[in-house]
Structure 1
Amino acid sequence: MVVTYSERWQELFGPTGDEPAMRLASASGEPGAGAGGTGRLKYSKGPWTSASGTAGALRTRAEASRSVLGRGHEGVAAGAVGLSSAMALKSVLTSWEERLRAVRDECDQLKGNLLRVAKEMGESETAVKSSLKGVHVPGKASEKR
């Protein structure tokens, strides 16, 4: 069987059979050896959950900022009647409100996506551990599985 990659994948990994141009940062040169050369790939959902929390906090801050910005502009139009700067100020306010709404909405979506990845990765890890419990590895009897 011959494996061929798209042009983009070949740029990243190199032609089939050659040394890959890209590696995981935690991978050593030895097959099966992860960070530190232990031969074990470790996963933690902590970074995914943390990133989700950060996205949620940014969403909350963007909405709070949009609200404060709107309150700060209350009454400006009435006090600036006849000034050409009032129309420009309103345009700037509208623009920033739209940007902050977009940030809020994007962070809301990102938060959910990151939590879903954390959950899926955690469930995958649990399923893999469970499926490997019955596998006997000679010389590894003293290690916990």
Structure 2
Amino acid sequence: MSTQGDLPSHWQALFGEPPAMRLASAAAPGGGGGGGDADLAHSGGPWTKASAAAGELRVTTAEGLGKMSAAHEGISAGTTGLAATAALAAVRESWERRVAAVRDECGSVQSALLNVAREIGEVDVNNKVAFSQLVLKQGADR
């Protein structure tokens, strides 16, 4: 957008040419669509995909905890008194705490990411409506 003719000459001298700005979905100057590195394009899935990945990781870690528990069933019965059994139990408990913490964090992150996706989607819809109304109003004013 040029300021030529839009501002009085003394204002143009003060401000010069404004920096270019365009929406991600708007056509670039000289043709072509948006989508370049400088465009803001946050909707369309990245937050939802990240939420789904966190959910999948939560499920996978929960399954891993179950498999770990099943794999250690009955170990202590046949190896009572061995130092290796106590060491294995300590290591297993440590890993179970860590994996459970990852599982729980993934659940927390999953819901937070999904909330962001919803909020951004609502903002995008509201902005699209506002821009559409602005375009209609400008068209009616001409």
- TM-score of the aligned structures, taking structure 2 as reference length: 0.69
Aligned length: 111
SS at match of 2:112: helix
CA root-mean-square deviation: 2.6
Q: Deviations over 1:25-72 (max 9, x none)?
A: xxxxx5314679827643423111111111000000000001100110
How much does 1:114 deviate?
0.8
1: CA distance between counterparts of 2:48 and 2:79? 47
Of structures 1 and 2, the larger Rg is shown by 2
* Greater RCO, CA 8 A, separation 6+: 2
Report if the CA contact (8 A) 1:45-1:121 is conserved.
no
Partner of 2:61: 62
1:131 is displaced (CA, Å) by 1.6
For 2:72 and 2:55, locate their aligned partners in 1 and report how far apart those are by CA, in whole Å.
26
Aligned to 2:50: 51
Q: What corresponds to 1:19 in structure 2?
A: none
Write the deviation string for residues 82-131 of structure 1: whole angstroms up to 9, x where unpaired: 10011100001101110110010000011101111110000001111112
Q: Secondary structure at the match of 2:134?
A: coil
2:88 matched residue in structure 1 = 89
Equivalence for 1:131: 130
2:77 aligned partner? 78
Evaluate the alpha carbon distance shift between residue 47 and residue 136 of structure 1 in structure 2; reply closer, same or farther with a 3 A threshold. Answer: closer
- Runs of 4+ off more than 6 Å: 34-37
> In structure 1, what is the equivalent of residue 21 of structure 2?
32
Kindly indicate whether the alpha-carbon contact (under 8 Å) linking 2:57 and 2:103 is maintained by their aligned counterparts in 1.
Answer: yes
TM-score by length of 1: 0.67
Instruction: Write out per-residue CA displacement over residues 14-34 of structure 1, whole angstroms, 9 at most, x where no aligned residue.
Output: xxxxxxxxxxxxxxxx53146
More helix by share: 2
Q: Which letter does structure 2 place at the counterpart of 1:104?
A: R
2:120 maps to a residue whose letter is: M
Alpha carbons of structure 1 residues 45 and 119: separation in structure 2 relative to 1, 3 Å: farther
Mapped to 1, the partners of 2:41 and 2:74 lie a distance apart of: 57
Residues 59, 104 of structure 1: 8 Å contact kept: yes
